[in-house]
Amino acid sequence: MTRLLLASASPARRATLTAAGLAPLVAVSAVDEDAVLAAARERFGALEPADAVLVLAQAKAEDVARRLDDVEVEGWDDDDVVVLGCDSMLELDGEVLGKPSDADDALARWRAMRGRSGVLHTGHWLVDERDPSDGGTRATLGATASTVVHFADLSDDEVAAYVATREPLAVAGAFTIDGLGGPFVERIEGDHHNVVGVSLPLLRHLLADIDLTVPDLWRR
């Protein structure tokens, strides 16, 4: 049986995949994100936001794939696995915004974001660790999904109250769409799940490239 192994500690990604019937295994990568991006810039030059998240997603997936013999994965019973790495960033005025460094940073972010629009980029990377005798391809591939997010014009009190919950400190772009931040997103253009952290339609296309379907990974 083939299982999806999520190389991310994000509870939102895990919940999204579980709701879609995939019930992923989880193993958190040990990637130094700043070092990975610095190495990529040295090699390729300046990175567009859509490329930066893809570089990080690849690094996370391939790190976990390399360490499969050493990592502890709850519920894994020597099934074949396909490793999925993801990374998300918000682009606003050409600037890339990951997780806020602290509450003051989150306050500043929301004061800049309110009443405006940004683009949430999520990089996705798959590493096929299935044995070739079982149909595995040993492929490593990925793509980025991008969704336009239109933010509500929050008052100062609303911004302060939201940051005080500390939810914005734990997520890329300092907001959620599936949590307390939901009322502060007026609308989106693109895939809703991508804003949560994993694009299910894009994942379906990536799986097709390695001859898998979403139902192949459903946990019945």
Q: Break the chain into its structural domains and give their ranges.
A: 2-217
- pTM for the complete prediction? 0.94
d(C-alpha 137, C-alpha 73), whole Å? 22
Of 150, 181, 168, which is closest to residue 102 (Cα–Cα)?
Answer: 168
What's the rounded Cα separation, in Å, for the pair 108 and 97?
A: 12
Per-residue model confidence (pLDDT) at position 220: 63
Residue 180 is given by DSSP the state T
Class of domain 2-217: alpha beta
Name which of 91-100, 115-124, 174-183 the model is least confident about.
91-100
What value does the mean pLDDT take over residues 66-71?
86
Residue pair 14/6 in contact (Cβ under 8 Å)? The answer is yes
Comparing C-alpha atoms, which of 92, 100, 147, 150 is closest to residue 122? 147
pLDDT confidence bin for 174, thresholds 50/70/90: very high
Whether 61 contacts 125, CB under 8 Å:
yes
Active-site residue list:
87
In this prediction, residue 159 has a pLDDT band, given cuts at 50, 70 and 90, of very high
pLDDT digits (tens, 9 = 90+) for 197-207: 999 999 999 99
- Beta strand residue intervals within the chain, DSSP E: 2-6, 25-26, 80-92, 95-97, 117-128, 140-151, 185-189
Q: Spell out the residues 6+ positions from residue 105 whose beta carbon is closer than 8 angstroms to its own.
A: 174
Closest by Cα among 38, 143, 131 to 85: 143
Whether the per-residue pLDDT at 152 is higher than 80: the answer is: yes
Map tokens 């929301």 to a residue. 110
- Say if residues 126 and 207 touch (Cβ distance below 8 Å): yes
> What is the pLDDT, as a whole number, of residue 97?
82
Q: Can you say whether the dihedral through the CA atoms of 205, 127, 48, 190 is positive or negative?
A: positive
CB 142 within 8 A of CB 57: yes
The C-alpha atoms of residue 194 and residue 177 are separated, in whole angstroms, by 10
